[in-house]
Structure 1
Amino acid sequence: MKGMEKNVIVLAGMIGAGKSSYTELIARELGSIAFYESITDNRILEKFYDDPARWAFALQIYFLNTRFRSIKAALRDENNVLDRSIYEDALFTQINYEEGNISSPEMDTYLDLLDNMMEELGTLPKKAPDLMIYLRGSLETVLERIKKRGRPYEQIDENPGLLEYYTRLHARYDSWFESYDKSATLVFDIDQIDITNSEDAYEVMQAIRTKLAYIHQRPTD
C-alpha cells in the first residue's frame, strides 16, 4: 500500500448523515487537510428555512460558489477531504425547483453557471476526486441525527414543511449516486455504522485505505 499517496476524497449524503464527522476522522487518519462546508458565516441558510420560495435561488448560488471554490482548492492541493462537494449541489437545486421555490429562468441560469464551472475544473491538472464516499442510511436515522445536533432551523417540529423536503431529497439520493461518474466510490451504511465507536471507525478506515490502495495500484509489466 502506498501510504504517502496524495488523495482528494469527497463525502456525499443527506443533511445530518455525518459527513463532517467522517471528514474529521479521515483527515486525521490520513494526515490530509479537511475542507468543511461553511455554516456559521452563511447569512442565507436560516432565511431559506424560514422562507424557501424567497431564498432558495440565492442559497443555491451561494453554495455553488463556495463549493466551486473548495473543489478548485482541493484539486490543486491534491491531499484533502471535503465534507460536501459541488457534485451533488444540483440535486438540492432540482428539488427546490420541483417544489416551486426556484423558477425556470433561475434553474436555467443555475445550470448554465454549473456547466461553466465544471468546464473550468476540466482545465486543472487534477480534474476530479480520487474517491467519493457516500453515506447511505434510512430517513429515520437521518432525522434522528438532525434532531440530535440541534440546529433549530433544521427541526421538523418547528417547521413541519421540512419533513416533506427531507423526504423528497432522501428519496432521490440513491439515484443521484448511481449517476455519479467522476471517480471511484465507496458506500457506508450509517444505519449500521457509528464511527464514534472505535471499532467501527477502525473498520471504516481500513475500508478506505484498501479502496485507495486499489485505486492507486500500478499495473505490473
Structure 2
Amino acid sequence: MSVIVLAGMIGAGKSTYTTLISEELNSTAFYEQVKDNAILEKFYDNPKRWAFSLQIFFLNTRFRSIKQALVHRHNVLDRSIYEDALFTRINYEQGNMSEAEMSLYTDLLDNMMEEIDGMPKKGPDLLIYLRGSLDTHLERIQKRGRPFEQVEGNPELLDYYKKLHSRYDDWFASYDKSPTLVIDIDEINLELPGHQELVMKKIKDALKETQEV
C-alpha cells in the first residue's frame, strides 16, 4: 500500500500531479474541494469575515481524506492535513482570525492528529513538495484563470501569496511524518515532452527507497 501526498503553494500544480500519479500507479485520487466549496470565493472577497470558516472547512475535509487514505490500498492526495496549519497561521498573523479562533483551530488540529497517530498506518509513504519561485506560482495562478485568485488590482492578496510562499521552505524543513521528494517546478513542466516520464521515475525511485528502508 502506497500513500502519497502532494504539498506546495497555491498554483504549484498539485491537482495535475495527483491525476498523473494516480493514473500511472493505478491509485485512488483525493482532491481538495474547490468547486463544491461555498466558502472559498467568499474568503477571497472578505478574508477577515471568512478565514476561520474556510480553515475549519478545509481541516474537516482534509482530516476525512487522510483517514480514508491511510486505510485505502493505493492513493494520492493533492493536499493533506499536514500543511493545513501553515495557511491558518498566515491568516492569524495577517489579522484575518482572532486569537480565540486560532486557539480553537489548534486544539481541533491537535485532537485530529492524535487520532491519526493511533491508526495502524500513521502517515504517508511519501510527501512530494512542489517547490518553485513566486513568479512561477503567480504565472500558473493567472493561467488557471479563477477570477477570485487573481492579484491584479488586489495588493492585499499579493501580500498574502508572498507571505505564504516565503514560509513554505520552513514548513517543509519541519515536516517529519514521512520520507520526502522535492520537485522543482521552475525546471519541470508536465506539458513538455519527457517531463511526465522524468517525474514518474523520480517518484518510483523514491517509493522504492522507502520500501527498502
Report the TM-score when normalising by structure 1. Answer: 0.95
Which of 35, 60, 63 is the equivalent residue of 2:58? 63
Corresponding residue for 1:44? 39
What runs of 5+ residues in structure 1 fail to find an aligned partner?
1-5
Residue correspondence of structure 1 range 157-176 to structure 2 within 5 A:
157-176=152-171
Corresponding residue for 1:111? 106
Shift of 1:200: 0.8
**Alpha-carbon distance in structure 2 between the residues aligned to 1:159 and 1:62:** 24
Q: Tell me, yes or no, if structure 1 residue 81 matches structure 2 residue 76.
A: yes
What runs of 5+ residues in structure 2 fail to find an aligned partner?
none
For residue 136 of structure 1, what is the amino acid of its counterpart?
R
Shift of 1:160: 2.6
Corresponding residue for 2:180? 185
Q: Contact 1:137–1:190 at 8 Å: present in 2 too?
A: yes
Corresponding residue for 1:197? 192
Corresponding residue for 1:122? 117
Misfit runs of 4+, over 3 Å: none
**Alpha-carbon distance in structure 2 between the residues aligned to 1:210 and 1:151:** 35
User: After superposition, what is the alpha-carbon deviation per residue over 1:117-173, rounded to whole angstroms, capped at 9, x for unaligned?
Assistant: 000011211110000000000000000000000000000014331100000000000
Shift of 1:47: 0.4
For residue 94 of structure 2, what is the amino acid of its counterpart?
E
Once the two structures are overlaid, the 10-residue window that deviates more, 192-201 or 127-136, is 192-201
**Alpha-carbon distance in structure 1 between the residues aligned to 2:10 and 2:131:** 11
For residue 193 of structure 1, what is the amino acid of its counterpart?
I
Q: Contact 1:49–1:153 at 8 Å: present in 2 too?
A: yes
Shift of 1:197: 2.0
Count of matched residue pairs: 213
Q: Tell me, yes or no, if structure 1 residue 99 matches structure 2 residue 94.
A: yes
For residue 150 of structure 1, what is the amino acid of its counterpart?
G
Corresponding residue for 1:31? 26
Q: Secondary structure at the match of 1:40?
A: coil
**Alpha-carbon distance in structure 2 between the residues aligned to 1:108 and 1:161:** 24
State the superposition RMSD in angstroms. Answer: 0.8
For residue 105 of structure 1, what is the amino acid of its counterpart?
A
Report the TM-score when normalising by structure 2. Answer: 0.98
